[in-house]
Structure 1
């Protein structure tokens, strides 16, 4: 038999066995009678599409970003979250729930109910490596909850942060099969990267780029508005049809931006500092029953100073960082409250399963010891760690009044991150630790979960989708979209709902991010803290009994070597099973050659046309630390001006533009502006306007690193020496534009979008050395 026929028969048989139609929607058997006329015809009355079971619940996943275990008041924190409190008080709190320690892997695991290496998402999707378990391409054989829900007759909506589409696919060429609408969602509105500005975000609707101007609204408000719009449209058209909503705001990932009224709410409330915060929160957690009564606080993480030892200026700016963060989280709670109230208004809340996950990992370490006020690139380019501590504090103080506003891109210092993680040590990215991986989980479902209280059974982010499937009584088809499905890997928590004392069923779980790794087995945990950029030969295994040592303070590796060896062997077994190797994070540089390749990564030259807007920097032609040339093919008249090519925005970026009759370049290095301007005016008529960067490798950001020059029709009209900082062009929050500067302006000498008024035919980016 022909192979194609065999495959089709296998798919058909699998579909019949499950009783669920696959999305290829095969021709239905007609059960009516087709007469010669309409009067003689009886309809079949058989639905062509899957129909949900009667009274099937709506399902809402709400996943926040970078919120520590001890931040929200629902889990003992000092930041007010009345909506979360209400959901928790009228549902179940899970206190032994774990994420993967960083965003993309957590989301991939949540959506699929599998381990993150099992679906090829080993770390943030931007750094996917061309190897099994690491390449960023989630297999279609491991369906998302949206794909499963749609097969069960649900509408499916994704709103907010996505961050699991392979970066090479984030161009106008797609392919779009691993965008949200390609992975089971009927509609998508949100951003594709790990973070975005809360006032000028990089947004898409479905697969179309939309303008970033929110008319002064905060992004979380816009996201909740859109969720309500989608639900309103669906319930108006099909009131009995359930929906699945995946709501993932950018909050509270940096930048910590929110309207001033929310920041002012916390004015002075953190002046006592992070040490006092930890003490108060631990006491509240004990009172709530969130942690064992015997729990004590671990020592401060490395580098964090006692609050009382800080200078007056340090205390002032550090407290302001936390005020902005707290306002951001409380605002997020308010906006989620609007959604909950809307569901109540339209009589849908009682029949809605709400899964609230307060953080996709532990609190963020991306603010370093001082915090940062400009943006994420201070962390990415390393300036956060190389600039003198005292100089950073003084610069931040100058921006004190702007911290948290749209004029800043802040993230708090690590002292507050550990406080938000109370009572744990370590932070986001530290997959070895409970501080990096333990997050609050709340289940709320008035019609289906009558129980209240706390559940302490061990669980993981891969447990959520199996749990939702069980509670909602969904059927998982053997075949979805023509792909035979592989088993779920998470352990459903449905068994814990009626019995708080039920014996745990999740016996083994591995963790690994950038070399930091751990293995859990029935209360025991072996782990390695790996410092990124160092040899794995320096790694040291630790051993903890979490049953007796809730927050990992008593290392038993020396006193119980047998148990450690047993767990190390178990980790090796899991590593082989789920493609954890190769470990990343040692001294090996993750060069572009090792990353999953995109369409621009394999070409020496790229031709870009006007209309390209906010193409993510990692998806665009690389401008990072190498020699390259940009040529703009233009037709000029008098008084032309505008941007030829820009990447980034007001916090970090690069712009190649025309203004006041001159050809110009602007480098925005974390808010520090450097310009180059032609010595002669532009001609009229056809012209080639060129920018060359000649890069000489350098060690420090402030070191000399070559030259840059401007040319008009092959005539050099400007040149200067550059630093490594000038050549470090890979802004994260805003993408690459041709013929304008979308979003916020790279340089304050013009206003966005500063559209080029001449005729821009094309822009050619040529790589003169390897990125």
Structure 2
């Protein structure tokens, strides 16, 4: 074969590969001309993908755990000037609904489908092996980010994601169901239900983020990052629109905020929660978001009247609410920074803003509120006293706060019950604001059409003029289950189009149809067949005060049958209540499964407590293989948890030490002898004999006596050098839900008060081995 023949064959092979590459990679046949020389060839480039003409930037703000009566935009007493401004220039949707709890609402929001339909029947860390509950959102129900990406949008999420499968939230993924795997270009936020506002467990894109040590509040960090994303996008690709999902941690616990914000409310809530309910109810009527003949439901029977409380209790409870309100106002301010940046750069006029004030109703807070684990574990007579002693810590990084149930019920005004009560409007009805002057003709309008969180994605698609692709990543897409609200934007009298909607969370369930609603408040642990259904005509009784089940059994039967049909259609069955779900997290749901032995090496990225090794009501050992190079070596070998709860193994002052933190009470074991230079095996052993076991997340049961629950011991090279008896409660949770797992250091919030983070180990750490007995 001659050189020329070889050359010609090579050229033909190259031309063929270019054409095939164009066909396979871009889906388009190469339309230029390729000759043997440039003079004989014609260049061709595939046309750039374009967004729809005049497509708006889109911002979705999702506030966490905010009831209907929180924000001043909907009559609440928590000042939110930016939300007020958007509502006054846009539309208030008064009859908008969520699923009643975090992960399901978020899954429904970003897919436009029902939560069981996208496998998120409950929280991502409460997954079960059934189609409606496994937490694995299917690829045939694409997200709003995946759809907008096909329409040439840049897509960003900052803040809480909370829909990735628990066992996949590690540095090795898989990342298919992380934000970047579901259409987002960048992610900066966290994966679980909440995070410490000053010591957040953050991720950036597909990696653990380096902790921010500036002391900034996490909502400030989110606003900073959102502005950076927008600055890059508008500088480099100004012709493209962006989608920003701004998903804050506020006002979910822990309620933490700088004092300047909470002090704005000094003395503002001294009149108490009964006054708050009445005041907000009157404001809501004045705004026109409630019927003129509306009646405020009675205070929940589990909540005491404000007047019956002691002066000390009123002072403590009022301060809880000052923190709560300051947290909300601070969030509005940080979100306003993003809006003001767009205005300053000339990119706000063509921006659609959808603000959802709450992914569910306000949370059912503890009776006395919660400052930290120690205060919460006191009996009723001492909780207020202990909180009063620590009132200066309220809202700081040294508190892990939640507001008393009296306040959280008040912030759900005008409805009954709380978050997770999927049967009730108080758990599922939230304010919605839609701002888009380009398409909205009426400023400050009110829309009373029934709507649901699954309607948000279809609404964005319509307002953006976007096209929904038939396939995403080669997977044929299934239809939306929500209904676009576009029909109601400029027609306040338009008949409802979303006329049927089911609700279900841990057995609490309801069905809505054409203004009628049948519901069940299922008591965890009872038989489903014994549930008693209620019936409400929301057209005349919007806040469910009058049960019509006995007066209208035919309508009740009709709705019960409809619930059954919807439940079968959308993967709701089998019904699972809070006593049947094995609690939150658990070894079987973690990345390590039920492995009896786990070896972690220095340099491993931080692991979430729920995705990493679990320590809930069982015996185990943790062994560190170390080389002490000199007597001054020190630092953390292994840590899980935070200042509020956790376990840490560390070397300090020549001693092997263990800190066991249960609710801010830290008990230390310290070796009876120093560790000499050289190689050593340092072992912690917990022998648990208690019978408590892990407790289902969110289930409140009777207080159990805290009896002896076993022992914990420490060893140097197999020789016991310390031991103590533990209480039963100390073996149930270690580092549960409040921070993360670190090897060779303790990032974020410190487990022990004997060191400051990160307290890196200065000797040589070979590995840390965890073994379950």
TM range (shorter): over 0.9
Shift of 1:575: 1.1
CA distance in 1, matches of 2:588, 2:240: 40
Secondary structure, counterpart of 2:466 in structure 1: coil
Shift of 1:594: 8.9
CA distance in 1, matches of 2:581, 2:480: 34
Shift of 1:390: 1.6
Residues 70 and 687 (structure 1), Cα distance of their counterparts in 2 relative to 1, 3 Å cut: same
**Which of 394, 405, 420 is equivalent to 1:429?**
420
Residues 619 and 362 (structure 1), Cα distance of their counterparts in 2 relative to 1, 3 Å cut: same
CA distance in 1, matches of 2:171, 2:64: 27
CA distance in 2, matches of 1:413, 1:647: 28
Secondary structure, counterpart of 1:350 in structure 2: coil
CA distance in 1, matches of 2:61, 2:580: 37
Residues 250 and 566 (structure 1), Cα distance of their counterparts in 2 relative to 1, 3 Å cut: same
Shift of 1:105: 0.4
Unaligned stretches of 5+ residues in structure 1: 1-21
Instruction: Quote the residue 1:577 is aligned against.
Output: 569
TM-score in terms of structure 1 length: 0.93
CA distance in 2, matches of 1:537, 1:759: 60
Shift of 1:387: 4.0
**Which of 754, 766, 770 is equivalent to 1:765?**
770
Instruction: Quote the residue 1:662 is aligned against.
Output: 655
Shift of 1:260: 0.7
**Which of 632, 636, 644 is equivalent to 1:651?**
644
CA distance in 2, matches of 1:205, 1:594: 26
CA distance in 2, matches of 1:27, 1:535: 56
Equivalent positions of 1:370-769 (< 5 A) are 370-374=368-372, 384=376, 387-452=378-443, 453-585=445-577, 587-588=579-580, 590=582, 597-637=589-629, 638-699=631-692, 700=704, 702-727=706-731, 728-768=733-773
Residues 426 and 641 (structure 1), Cα distance of their counterparts in 2 relative to 1, 3 Å cut: same
Equivalent positions of 1:246-325 (< 5 A) are 246-325=245-324
Contact 1:99 1:360 in 2 (8 A): yes
Secondary structure, counterpart of 2:666 in structure 1: strand
Contact 1:642 1:740 in 2 (8 A): yes
Contact 2:52 2:464 in 1 (8 A): no
Post-superposition CA distance 1:86-139 (Å, at most 9, x none) = 100111110000001101000000000000000111111111112111000000
Secondary structure, counterpart of 1:227 in structure 2: helix
CA distance in 2, matches of 1:299, 1:260: 34
Moved over 6 A (4+): 591-596
Shift of 1:583: 1.9
Tell me which moved more, 722-731 or 640-649: 722-731
Shift of 1:303: 1.5
Contact 1:23 1:480 in 2 (8 A): no
Shift of 1:514: 1.2
Contact 2:162 2:191 in 1 (8 A): yes
Matched, 1:362 2:361: yes
Instruction: Quote the residue 1:102 is aligned against.
Output: 101
Residues 533 and 397 (structure 1), Cα distance of their counterparts in 2 relative to 1, 3 Å cut: farther
Secondary structure, counterpart of 1:686 in structure 2: strand
Contact 2:126 2:585 in 1 (8 A): no
Matched, 1:172 2:171: yes
Shift of 1:226: 0.6
Contact 1:97 1:438 in 2 (8 A): yes
Shift of 1:149: 0.2
Contact 1:165 1:179 in 2 (8 A): yes
Tell me which moved more, 350-359 or 25-34: 25-34
CA distance in 2, matches of 1:515, 1:765: 36
Shift of 1:596: 6.4
TM-score in terms of structure 2 length: 0.93
CA distance in 2, matches of 1:502, 1:433: 25
Residues 488 and 407 (structure 1), Cα distance of their counterparts in 2 relative to 1, 3 Å cut: same
Equivalent positions of 1:64-103 (< 5 A) are 64-103=63-102
Unaligned stretches of 5+ residues in structure 2: 1-21, 693-703
Secondary structure, counterpart of 2:680 in structure 1: strand
Post-superposition CA distance 1:622-667 (Å, at most 9, x none) = 1111011111111123222111110011111111111111111111
Secondary structure, counterpart of 1:106 in structure 2: helix
